Copies of this chain bind each other. A is one copy, B any other.
Amino acid sequence: MPYVLNKKTGMDYKQTERLLQRKGLKKTKLRHALIRYFIKTQHAQSYADIKLALTEATDKSTLYRNLTAFEQAGLIHSINDHSGVTKYAFGEAPIQGNEHAHFVCECCETVYCMDGLAPLQLDVPKGFKANKVQTIIRGTCADC
């Protein structure tokens, strides 16, 4: 069961716009910029990363609210890599049976989404019921 780098969803700009519309989200400058940014970037991005990269991101609460809205719309998913800051990456949250793992480079702190099979047959104690597994792999990435 090998892990492979996530090739991103095949979604293009038009599709994401249609998705926003379907979710009742209006088109705004910031949202345009955010979608372009998430399609372009290869790895998970933090609030600070986005703030730094986009001149359109002027207000903290607006940006956070948009990240939340995008996540609820299934356009991005959030990742907790134990660094203390939430990161966001393009693509829907992995669903059960189609988990993806997050690889955190201990050298450059980059977070990669990796597709793979469900990481393990969940065999938990009596009375416990497992719903999903979140896997974080730590190591060194190809660039380090």
List residues of chain A with CB under 8 Å of any chain B CB. Answer: 1-5, 80, 82, 103, 106, 114, 119-143
Residues of B within 8 A of A3 (CB): 122-125
Interchain CB contact (< 8 A) of A124 among B103, B126, B130, B134: B103
Closest to A80 in B: B82
Q: Are B114 and A124 in contact (CB under 8 A)?
A: yes
How many angstroms between the C-alpha atoms of A139 and B135 in the bound complex? Answer: 15
Q: What 10 pairs across the A-B complex have the smallest Cβ distances?
A: A127-B142, A2-B123, A130-B139, A131-B139, A134-B136, A80-B82, A129-B140, A129-B139, A3-B124, A119-B120
Inter-chain pairs besides A3-B122, A120-B120, A124-B139, 15 sampled, C-beta below 8 Å: A1-B120, A1-B121, A2-B123, A4-B125, A80-B82, A114-B125, A119-B135, A122-B137, A127-B142, A128-B142, A129-B140, A131-B138, A132-B139, A133-B135, A134-B136
In the complex, what's the smallest C-beta–C-beta distance from A30 to chain B, in angstroms?
Answer: 25
Chain B residues with Cβ under 8 A from A128's Cβ?
103, 139-142
Q: Which of B133, B138, B143 contacts A130 (CB 8 A)?
A: B138
Known contacts A1-B120, A121-B1, A130 near B137 by CB under 8 Å: yes
Of all chain B residues, the one with the shortest Cβ separation from A101 is B133
- Are A137 and B126 closer than 8 Å at their CB atoms? no
